[in-house]
Amino acid sequence: MGAGHAAGAAHRLYVPGASPVHRLPPQCKLVAVLAFVLLVVATPRERFWAFGVYALLLAAVAATARIPFGTVARRVVIEVPFVAFAFLMPFVASGEKVTVLGLELSENGLWGAWNILAKGTLGVVTSILLAATTEPRLLLLGIDRLRMPQLLTQIATFMLRYGDVVAAELGRMKVARASRGFEGRDLRATRVLAKSIGALFLRSYERGERVHLAMLSRGYDGRMPVVHDVSATAAQWTAAAALPLAAAFVTLAAWTMP
């Protein structure tokens, strides 16, 4: 369960900088990242070298963006639950058995574990690099430029903008519970926690009602005004295409080479 990250932590994921990767328009980066991840997933798992090349490509991006290795490594922790799952694979999968270090393991399961570890890790690192080089606000602007329905991007914008506020509200409730001697130990705690969640919903929703009225009084008509436009030139699209193009060659080679 990947809990433990706050909605309010979104802006702390961004590593400020002025590298060429930072300066690319968000929509270019989004398309490049999505294409790259799909190519990685479509690569046959038997080609170990291909995944090595993908990792090198990502390392090159990180180096260009001057994202420290430690920052990426610390955030990769998010994948711990599925690493645990991957380690189960060789024990539960069917098919031919091989003996490794005295353990009977399924060969197919070993391949499956490798497949999840390699592709999952590459995917996680790609997302980390995207979030580290693009401000959340710009990322949403990029989604908007890619013709995502307005309503969806608006919901996402409000969620990010008020995530901090709602998370802080939850934090205050936690302090209030603790200062009254509450300790979540067993199932009986559920009642208290659920009441907090109910109160949190009411406060969030009523805040939404107030925000809506405030917006109406400032002339909101269902569309958000575009204050900061991000347009991309052909050169920028080409620059962003470098990563997926290189990856496409690797994928092609991996499929065609014996």
Partner 1 sequence: MHVPDGFINAPVSVAAGVVAVAGVGVALRGARRELDDRTAPLAGLTAAFVFAAQMLNFPVASGTSGHLLGGTLAAILVGPYTGVLCVSVVLLVQALLFADGGLSALGVNITVMALVTVVVGYGLFQLVLRLLPKNRSSVGAAAFVAAVVSVPASALAFTGLYAVGGTTDVSIGKVAAAMVGVHVLIGIGEALITAVTVSSVLAVRPDLVHGARGLIKPPRLRTVEASEPKAGPGGPAEPSRA
Smallest distance from the beta carbon of 234 to partner 1, in angstroms? Answer: 25
**Near partner 1 in 11-30, by CB under 8 A:** 13
**Near partner 1 in 155-214, by CB under 8 A:** 155-163, 165-167, 169-170, 184-187, 189-191, 193-202, 204-205, 207-209, 211-212
Q: Does residue number 3 form part of the binding site for partner 1 (CB under 8 A)?
A: yes
Distances, alpha carbon 84 to alpha carbons 1, 46, 107, 191, 209, in Å: 12, 22, 18, 31, 43
**Near partner 1 in 225-244, by CB under 8 A:** none
Among the listed ranges 4-12, 62-70, 97-105, 234-242, the one in contact with partner 1 (CB under 8 A) is 4-12
Count of residues near partner 1 by CB under 8 A: 96
Smallest distance from the beta carbon of 142 to partner 1, in angstroms? Answer: 10
Smallest distance from the beta carbon of 125 to partner 1, in angstroms? Answer: 8
Choose between 79 and 239: whose C-beta lies nearer to partner 1: 79
**Near partner 1 in 54-83, by CB under 8 A:** 75, 78-79, 81-82
Smallest distance from the beta carbon of 19 to partner 1, in angstroms? Answer: 19
Among the listed ranges 39-47, 57-65, 229-237, 241-249, the one in contact with partner 1 (CB under 8 A) is 39-47
